[in-house]
Chain A
């Protein structure tokens, strides 16, 4: 192991609980609970160039940094190196210096991790009025879709709030998601019959309410809350879909 970063924040629901680990041979692996790139397990190999950069940053570290308090509302961030053991880096911002550079690079590795899905599920917005869960990776993952919460926010221009919708879906319960698996959820924010506010989706997939209909000039962001099952553990997760706005 070259480094391991764990970020956790229980003040949010679902809790942020993310990890990334890089091994000596460049293997990168970890878990994402709240992510745009999918939630679940990820594993792959960093290209040699990237691995060399990580090695260089880690190799520059000689000692534990002086403690710096984390900014208010920060998540817990613990970076573990062989040379130092676990070190809290939540107070270390990006900037010049060995530790700021390493901290920033480690955080970026969490995003990089999602390029290597193994058994994960991501959110998509394939068509107006539809939120879709999509399996990513090569391995199956057991998910609990018995109680799905969907949030959809539409933006116009540059982050000008155009609509907001949330709903709860009674899904099929526990299912195994493998390659090619998808699950569509009707949403009421930008499709025919869209509504602002909150709603519910009935078992047939219909959306209660009525609204202004499809608007072509908005960008929709989605969050889909469900759970991933790992043995007897049920882990609440949030798959997000946040395309660029503006």
Chain B
């Protein structure tokens, strides 16, 4: 954990639940799609064919024709976001050390940006000594005396004003052939607004980007296309999508790229096709516990007569009610008395919500070009219960080997018990508490506890892991079905985090060779099965994570593919296992993973061509992102859906 993070403070006092207006910049619909082009040039460009200057000139030549004018009239795509509902102004309350919640996080963001903090604050919503110190510094600079370190109403108003007065990012006019960070930021924003196909955030204004820009000009700006991202287009992009620039944060003016939100994050790993989220319940499956309670609730909603007592015990009455439900379907299901996938699907259709339930999630993910997963006996298993005042999510674990250290259970709660569900219309809130408990049975996960320390995985944890405060909550995340957020392909990163891939190093200024040369060198390294050569060709040549690295990824995809011959095991040291022949695919991460030995140079090489978040499910050891730290609202989205199904309404995760 970063030394800038603020550990939970004992005896924290929750701040009153003030409903601040949601100032989130809304995502709006993307540019209107053009159904057809009135002239050949426009059609080709809009279909993604390489166009370039010539195509643009051709298009301009047809300027004014009726088709273009009609496209321009399709609508500007910049419709005002839905007006926020009436929200009561927050009560003027002092916020100080020990407070936590969204208001604290908002203050942390602003304190860093107005450079009142010594270094960028970790935006964890916890008001600790670093936040208090930043408030004092701000008060001093703003002439608020005495500097108390308390975010009182006066200080908050002044901080809000100082933040609002920050100058907007200076933008460069971009056109075909432009390169640099602003190109990458424009690509991020076009993606966030629905560019299809997605643009690679490679900081190169090429023909594909030109098509997206022209589409946007016509569909969103309702103007005749110029093929440039000029001041007006920048203003529109910045208005609709926040982030996408580098800000100096903290007194030391640390440059920090501001995340560009894009779409709705789906942090859950990809469910294996054809599997159910429900465990088999009844004979041959679970016969006790939350899964049975969920079954009984749903059978009652489906009309079980007489209604079942919801006691979590699968007895004759439940069996009979289940068989009646199964045979009563049209067409009927086999009356097995066991709730399998087909039965649960039918029950979910009739009764989507319940106040308790169990999940057995079979899933896979791709990390560093390699497929991992929790399937079969290793599936993620957890349960949930909506109580009167809170929701409790439980992952039961059968520990084998050593006993788990007691501190591990607290680590899970410390990281994960920071959110509540808030129903957007009523304001009703419900804390979400996560618990890791010991237990056995078909609804338990199995974890081996080993002595010493090593790199934990989802099924093996180390008792001597001194970083258990981070490791165990990360692995717990897998037990509730969350995927990793490191070494991801760009598309997977966007989906998992809800951010565009960072622009990072846009120009490769420190790199002496072209992306094409690096790509060729990487392929040669793979053919030679040399991870050292791969690292030398990339990290060693100065390649860093970001847009320039993605230029290499694209150049690699354009190479003619070859097959790397099979290789026998090498005794080493270090030993290398036998490898089958690898037909390279043009997918750089997958090819690096398949062709090279699993060693430090390979890991380093994959790291620069992929994306990682700084969240608890990411790689906080390598990615020090103060904006995306710890558990994030996206990580508990599945439970917001469950709340909505059970209680009605739309629920959002908010810091508590």
Among the 9-residue stretches A13-21, A52-60, A124-132, A176-184, the one with 4 or more Cβ atoms under 8 Å from chain B is A13-21
Question: Nearest Cβ in chain A — how far from B479, in angstroms?
Answer: 10
Q: Which of B373, B377, B572 has the most CB of A within 10 A?
A: B572
Q: Say whether A242 contacts B367, CB under 8 Å.
A: no
A10 touching B600 by the CB < 8 A rule? yes
0/1 string, A233-246, CB within 8 A of B gives 1:
10110001010110
Contacting B at CB under 8 A, from A75-121, are 75-76, 78, 80, 85-86, 91, 93-95
CB closest residue in chain B, given A34: B454
Flag the segment in A65-73, A167-175, A201-209 that touches B: A65-73
Closest to B464 in A: A221
Q: Is the CB of A12 within 8 A of B569?
A: no
Is B164 located at the chain interface by the 8 A CB criterion? Answer: no
Is A136 located at the chain interface by the 8 A CB criterion?
Answer: no
Give the residue name and chain of the B residue nearest to A8 (CB). Answer: B598
**A93 close to B377 (CB less than 8 A):** yes
Q: How far is the CA of A95 from the CA of B376 in the complex (A)?
A: 13
Q: What residues on B are CB-neighbors of A94 within 8 Å? A: 448
Q: Say which residue of A164, A233, A242 sits within 8 Å of B451 (CB atoms).
A: A242
A242 and B464 contacting across the interface, CB-CB below 8 Å: yes
Question: Contact between A80 and B577 (Cβ–Cβ < 8 Å)?
Answer: yes
Are A69 and B463 also in contact (CB < 8 A) when A6-B575, A160-B405, A235-B574 are?
A: no
Interface positions, chain B 17-71, Cβ under 8 Å from A, are none
* Chain B minimum-CB-distance residue to A41: B573
A12 to B183, CA, bound (A): 35
In the complex, the answer to whether A74 meets B464 with C-beta atoms within 8 Å is: no
B166 located at the interface, meaning its Cβ lies under 8 Å from any Cβ of chain A in the complex: no
Convert B433-456 into 0s and 1s, putting 1 for each residue whose CB lies closer than 8 angstroms to a CB of A: 000000000000010100111111
Q: Which residues of A contact B577 (CB under 8 A)?
A: 4, 6, 8, 76, 78, 80, 86
B313 → A minimal CB distance (Å): 28
Q: Given the complex, which residues of B lie within 8 Å of A13, measured CB to CB?
A: 600
Contact A159 to B573, CB < 8 A, known contacts A9-B455, A34-B454, A221-B453: no
Query: Can you list, as one digit per residue, whether each of A149-175 has a CB less than 8 Å from chain B (1) or not (0)?
Result: 000010100111100100000000000
- Choose one: A9, A33, A73; the contact of B573 (CB below 8 Å): A33
In the bound complex, CA of A9 to CA of B460 (Å): 14
Chain A proximity of B130: nearest CB distance (Å): 19
Residues A23-69 near B (CB distance < 8 A): 30-31, 33-34, 36, 41, 68-69
Q: Which residue of A lies closest to B376 (CB)?
A: A68
The answer to whether B578 has its CB under 8 Å from any CB of chain A is yes
- Give, as a whole number of angstroms, the nearest-CB distance from A110 to chain B: 11
- Given A15-B574, A242-B452: A76 in contact with B376 (beta carbons within 8 A): no
Bound: A72/B378 CA distance, A: 11
Q: State A223–B475 Cα separation when bound (angstroms).
A: 23
Q: In angstroms, how far is the closest chain B Cβ from the Cβ of A108? A: 12
**Closest beta carbon of chain B to A159's beta carbon, Å:** 4
A interface residues, tally (CB under 8 Å): 55
Any chain B CB within 8 A of the CB of A11? yes
B contact residues around A91 at 8 Å (CB): 373, 375, 378
Taking the closest CB of chain A, its distance from the CB of B71, in whole angstroms, is 47
Interface presence of A230 (CB below 8 A): yes
B371 adjacent to chain A (CB < 8 Å) = yes
Tell me which residues across on chain B come within 8 A of A95, comparing CB atoms.
Answer: 377
B575–chain A nearest beta-carbon distance, Å: 4
Complex: chain A residue closest to B597, CB-CB? A8
CB distance from B351 to the nearest CB of A (A): 33
Q: A158-B405, A228-B573, A244-B451 are in contact. Are A153 and B464 (CB under 8 A)?
A: yes
Whether B573 lies near A230 (C-beta < 8 A) is yes
B202 to chain A, nearest CB (A): 26
What 1/0 flags go to B191-214 for Cβ under 8 Å of A? 000000000000000000000000
Q: Are A159 and B407 in contact (CB under 8 A)?
A: yes
Which residues from chain A contact B598 at a C-beta distance below 8 Å?
8-10, 15, 75-76
B102 CB within 8 Å of chain A: no
CB-CB under 8 A from A230, the residues of chain B are 572-573
C-alpha spacing A19/B377, complex, angstroms: 27
Closest-by-CB residue of A relative to B408 is A159
Give chain B residues whose Cβ lies under 8 Å from the Cβ of A74.
Answer: 372, 457-459
Contact A73 B574 (CB under 8 A): no
**B364, B454, B475, B579: which contacts A69 (Cβ < 8 A)?**
B364
Question: Are B452 and A36 interface neighbours, CB within 8 A?
Answer: yes
Interface assignment of B599: CB less than 8 Å from any CB of chain A = yes
Inter-chain contact A31/B574, CB cutoff 8 Å? yes
Do A8 and B457 touch (CB < 8 A)? no
CA of A41 to CA of B573 in the docked complex: distance in angstroms?
A: 9
Output the residue of A11, A14, A78 with the most chain B CB within 10 A: A11
In Å, the complex CA distance between A235 and B600 comes to: 11
Given contacts A71-B372, A93-B459, contact A17 B446 (CB under 8 A): no
Contacts of A242 in B (CB 8 A): 451-453, 464
Q: Which residues of A contact B403 (CB under 8 A)?
A: 158
Report A-chain residues with C-beta under 8 Å of the C-beta of B456: 73
Bound form: Cα–Cα A85–B466 in Å: 38
Q: Is A72 within 8 A of B484, CB to CB?
A: yes
| Inter-chain contact B372/A19, CB cutoff 8 Å | no
Contact partner, A240, options B406, B452, B531, Cβ 8 Å: B452
- B602 on interface, CB distance cutoff 8 Å: yes
Interface presence of B153 (CB below 8 A): no
In the complex, how many angstroms separate the beta carbon of A221 from the nearest chain B beta carbon? 5
Please report the C-alpha to C-alpha distance between residue A36 and residue B453 in the assembled complex, in whole angstroms: 10
Q: Are B599 and A159 in touch, CB under 8 angstroms?
A: no
**Given the contacts A10-B598, A86-B580, A72 and B365 also touching, CB distance less than 8 Å:** yes
| A245 contacts B406, C-beta separation under 8 Å | no
Report B-chain residues with C-beta under 8 Å of the C-beta of A36: 451-452
Beta-carbon contact of B457 and A71 below 8 Å: yes
The CA of A200 and the CA of B405, in the complex, are separated in Å by 30
Q: How far is the CA of A68 from the CA of B364 in the complex (A)?
A: 10
Name the distance in Å between A153's Cβ and chain B's nearest Cβ. 5
By a CB distance below 8 angstroms, the chain A residues around B374 are 69, 71-72
* Cβ of A245 to closest chain B Cβ, rounded Å: 7
Q: Is the CB of B372 within 8 A of A221?
A: no
Q: Is B98 an interface residue (CB 8 A)?
A: no
B586 within 8 A of A: no
User: Is A159 within 8 A of B601, CB to CB?
Assistant: no
Mask for B459-498, Cβ within 8 A of A = 1, else 0?
1100110100000000100100001100000000000000
Contact partner of B373 (CB less than 8 A), chosen from A15, A69, A164, is A69
Q: Which residues of B contact A12 (CB under 8 A)?
A: 454-455
A65 to chain B, nearest CB (A): 12
Distance in Å: Cβ of A219 to nearest Cβ of chain B:
10
Q: Give every chain A residue within 8 A of B580 (Cβ-Cβ).
A: 86
| Min CB–CB distance B589 → chain A (angstroms) | 14
Name the residue of chain A whose CB is nearest to the CB of B462.
Answer: A242
Of A17, A34, A245, chain B has the most CB atoms within 10 Å of the CB of A17
Q: Give min CB distance, B634 to chain A, whole Å.
A: 18
**Bound complex: CA A221 to CA B600 (Å):** 24
For B367, give the chain A residue with the smallest CB separation.
A72
Q: Which residues of A contact B484 (CB under 8 A)?
A: 72-73
Instruction: Say how far A143's CB is from chain B's closest CB, in angstroms.
Output: 13
Kindly supply a per-residue 1/0 record for chain B positions 583-604, scoring 1 wherever the CB is within 8 Å of any chain A CB and 0 otherwise: 0000000000000011111110
Q: Are B603 and A72 in contact (CB under 8 A)?
A: no
Q: Which residues of B contact A235 (CB under 8 A)?
A: 572-574
CB-defined A-B contacts under 8 Å, sample of 8 = A12-B454, A15-B599, A72-B372, A73-B455, A74-B459, A80-B569, A159-B405, A160-B406
Question: 14 new A-B pairs (CB below 8 Å) besides A160-B406, A242-B453?
Answer: A8-B575, A8-B576, A8-B577, A10-B531, A10-B603, A15-B600, A17-B573, A17-B599, A41-B573, A69-B373, A74-B457, A158-B403, A159-B464, A242-B452
In the A-B complex, the 10 residue pairs with the closest CB atoms = A69-B373, A17-B574, A78-B577, A19-B575, A242-B452, A159-B405, A6-B577, A73-B457, A71-B458, A10-B603
- The chain B residues found within 8 Å of chain A, CB to CB, are 364-365, 367, 370-378, 403, 405-407, 446, 448, 451-460, 463-464, 466, 475, 478, 483-484, 531, 569, 571-580, 597-603
